[in-house]
Amino acid sequence: MRLDGFSYCQCNVMEVLGWPYWRCYFSNTDAIIYVVDSADRDRIGISKEELVSMLEEEELKKAILVVLANKQDLDEAMSVSEIHSALGLDALKNRTFQIFKTSALKGNGLDEAMEW
């Protein structure tokens, strides 16, 4: 995937929710960009399970974590602090991470996340 304005980045994009073969893509991963649907309170628990499972993988121990709290343009979107709590990010030790409020629809927050 090409990211305009970020020529130093090479990204492999995949949807991991429920996909049993995602582990074969972990080698040489420097960062995880994890997108959360901020308006989907019903599935945030499943999202947490997938994230925790991924972060336990040996090949990802040193990868930084960028959480994109997407759909922040919706009134029902969870706040950053709600997502932080729901994903259990307080439990992360020795992991560099940051949450960014984003709206893919409006293009908000994506530049800040990629520059971080």
Is there a binding annotation on residue 12?
A: no
CB contact set of 9 (below 8 Å; sequence gap of 6+)? 3, 114
8: region left, alpha or beta (phi > 0 left; psi from -120 to 50 alpha): alpha
Is there a binding annotation on residue 37?
A: no
Is there a binding annotation on residue 40?
A: no
Is there a binding annotation on residue 72?
A: yes
Residue list for the binding site for GTP? 70-73
Residue list for the binding site? 70-73
